[in-house]
Amino acid sequence: MKILNLPLSRSTVDRAAHLRTDEASLAKLWANGRILHFNGGAFLSDDQGLKYLSTADITGTGEKIFLGVDGDVAYFLWCSEVHIGAEDAYKTLREIGHLLSDLDIGLAVHAQGIAHWHHRNPICPMCGSSTSAQLGGSVRRCSANNHELYPRNDPAIIVLVKDSKDRILLGRQSVWPEHRYSTFAGFVEAGESFEQCVVREVFEEANVKVSEINYLGSQPWPFPQSLMIAFEATILDPENAKPDGEEIVDIRWFDRDSLYAATQDGTLLLPPVISVARAMIQAWYTQDGAQRPTLPDAETWR
């Protein structure tokens, strides 16, 4: 399987890091920039997707973050809990992500990830003093010792498990909507490689041993600050597959025909359209080139 074009990795924005140190240039760009508003959980939106503001629309206190440029247009994020417009005009990235253009999805993913990071780091972890946004919002700096904090991502692997017959194994978590199944995933532990994490997580969650691993791609997952690294893994002992009974409560093997049939009879809900899991399943479903009906695109957020 080739490297996947993952839904949240479609950014076309130039982050223009060289401008972050030039406060005068950032101020001029802000004056004529296009501004997203994020209220801590959702973006100001309209029927077309994200709604952009001008500086004249900005009210109250908040944090201004430089997101980058696209041609001659500069983009910023305004973070504040004050609603600008009606409350129902705000939509989460989960709700609208699959509707957004490459430009907008890149901005939204960056904006949500950096906004959550700023919100969670008002205090310096070294001395407890306050921190403030600097360099266009790309870092936070301690007010006492000038120590700089940089955004962090938590790496997590996500795996499409296959057997020698090219069937895929999907698992179900108890917290998900009924009948929703997905691929296996887990956070990379300290001192662990991606490959070691794949082997460990697949065995822990499904009791099968990985014999071959292929890299498929990666995408940000700002809920709140993960980076998903996607693999497919072939296992040689499908007869040993069983759920761990804690995180994974049920597992099912699917070939392509049974997967489609299960989506039609209501016994299988696929992962969300913007997820890595859906992209991996979709790529596998069409990989053999056979003409098949299209998989449904219904969303299944918990």
Using one digit for the tens of pLDDT, what is the confidence trace for 168-208?
999 999 999 999 999 999 999 999 999 999 999 999 999 99
Q: Is 72 exposed, middle or buried (0-12, 13-18, 19+ CB in 10 A)?
A: exposed
Residue 137 has pLDDT above 70, yes or no: yes
Count of alpha carbons within 13 Å of 98, Cβ hemisphere only?
15
Evaluate whether 24 touches 31 at the Cβ level (below 8 Å).
Answer: no
Q: Region 54-64: what's the mean pLDDT? A: 91
pTM of the model: 0.93
pLDDT at 299: 83
CATH code for 17-120?
3.90.79
CA-to-CA distance for 220 and 192, rounded, in angstroms?
Answer: 20
Q: Which CATH architecture has domain 154-286?
A: Alpha-Beta Complex (3.90)
CA-to-CA distance for 14 and 43, rounded, in angstroms?
Answer: 21
Q: Which helix (H) or strand (E) holds 113?
A: helix 102-120
Evaluate whether 75 touches 13 at the Cβ level (below 8 Å).
Answer: yes
| Beta strand segments in 128-209, E | 131-134, 139-142, 148-149, 154-162, 168-172, 184-187
- Residue 264: both structure tokens together: 């039609």
pLDDT at 12: 96
Residues of the chain with CATH 3.90.79.10: 154-286
pLDDT at 84: 82
3-class state of residue 127 by DSSP: coil
The pLDDT mean for the chain works out to 95
